[in-house]
């Protein structure tokens, strides 16, 4: 199985891309004790973050089981998470 991204902790709402991902790609995220299937809404570069669920403005973005920032705009499941919305 080819994994495209990894979720580092079970309560993370973002995953880290393990390769460049194109908009529209069906991707597989390896997660603790599971895999998650989703579709990338936009291009996501290697090591950048992809949302695993919808994140509302003001919601915490969680990676490594820790809050790494707050969403400044609505982020849809499958969207790129970076400085433009975090």
Which residues pair with residue 14 across a beta bridge?
Answer: 51
| C-beta atoms surrounding 63 within 10 Å | 19
Q: What is the pTM of this model?
A: 0.94
Q: pLDDT at position 3, please? A: 85
pLDDT single digits (tens) 11-49? 999 999 999 999 999 999 999 888 999 999 999 999 999
Q: What percent of the chain has pLDDT over 70?
A: 99
């Amino acid at each position: 199985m080819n994994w495209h991204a990894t979720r580092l902790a079970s309560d993370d709402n973002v995953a880290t891309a393990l390769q460049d991902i194109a908009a529209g790609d069906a991707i597989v995220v390896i997660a603790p004790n599971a895999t998650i299937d989703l579709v990338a809404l936009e291009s996501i570069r290697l090591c950048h973050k992809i949302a695993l669920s919808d994140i509302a403005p003001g919601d915490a973005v969680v990676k490594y089981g820790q809050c790494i920032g707050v969403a400044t705009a609505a982020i849809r499941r499958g969207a790129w998470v970076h400085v433009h919305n975090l």
